[in-house]
Structure 1
């Protein structure tokens, strides 16, 4: 795998643009099957609200899908801050040390606001595709600013 710096060569983020990001745990360990770990990672998203405007997220057992609009910080700084605060808190909770997240992350800038609903539906439907639940409403670690679960089923 390429290093993060090589993956980001020629890329830049833009204020007020929408990004869909996927962050995986180190070695895809399912840390978020543990309820307290999942709550800690979710609280980290709330903490980031002064840095981004979250549209939706779904925290899966070994990764996070997060759709948001950047405010003032560059995307790389948002990712660094989120990973840092959640790593410190999860390590403290588990009396552990070391990285929680993979160094890299996958990102996609949405080119049109019309793509937001489709991307949000895709993100929120992840627990269904992974067969973790039969209905999105049964899954505890997701949120979306403008969709309710009955609209996602259609």
Structure 2
């Protein structure tokens, strides 16, 4: 059993619940530094939302991983949403930009327990570039969004 298979153990998928997801680039390589790739990733997030599979609350695209806070819709399981998202991103980016392997096999998820947990996760996600010392101010980092900040 792969260590990453342990991520699935105890995974629960409940409709309309909030989840904090972490998706990691293949071999933890800095694959998400291109404007073209990051635009395609955000476009696929929007497609997931348009299909009502999940609503994006917050996200940040870091150089080698993506944090994505979502509210799951009522038709697809969490694993189906992530599988669809990763698959469509991979196909589009492979076809347009020639990147062969985009994602690591699994993902990390955390089911949000209450409103405080939701707000804390949103803050954690958008502050990621600060903690990584990529920028001094979140406003200077281009690859994030949060419905709580307008």
Q: Judging changes above 3 Å, is the alpha-carbon distance between structure 1 residues 96 and 64 closer, same or farther for their aligned structure 2 residues?
A: closer
TM-score, length-scaled by structure 2: 0.91
Between 88-97 and 99-108, report the one with greater CA deviation: 88-97
Cα displacement (A) at 1:2? 2.6
Whether 2:138 is the aligned partner of 1:146: answer no
Provide the residue aligned with 1:80 in structure 2. Answer: 83
How many matched pairs? 146
Separation of aligned partners in 1, 2:93 and 2:69: 22
5+ residue gaps, structure 2: none
1:52 to 51, 54, 60: 54
The answer to whether the Cα contact below 8 Å between 2:7 and 2:108 also exists between their aligned partners in 1 is no
Residues 96 and 147 (structure 1), Cα distance of their counterparts in 2 relative to 1, 3 Å cut: closer
Pick closer, same or farther for the CA change 1:10–1:123 going to 2, 3 Å.
closer
Question: What's the C-alpha RMSD, in Å, of the aligned pairs?
Answer: 1.4
Question: Which portions of structure 1, spanning 4 or more consecutive aligned residues, are displaced by more than 6 angstroms?
Answer: none
**Where do 5+ consecutive residues of structure 1 fail to align?**
149-154
SS of corresponding position for 1:31? coil
TM-score, structure 1 as length reference: 0.88
Give the secondary structure class of the aligned counterpart of 1:103: strand
Deviation at 1:96, TM superposition (A): 4.0
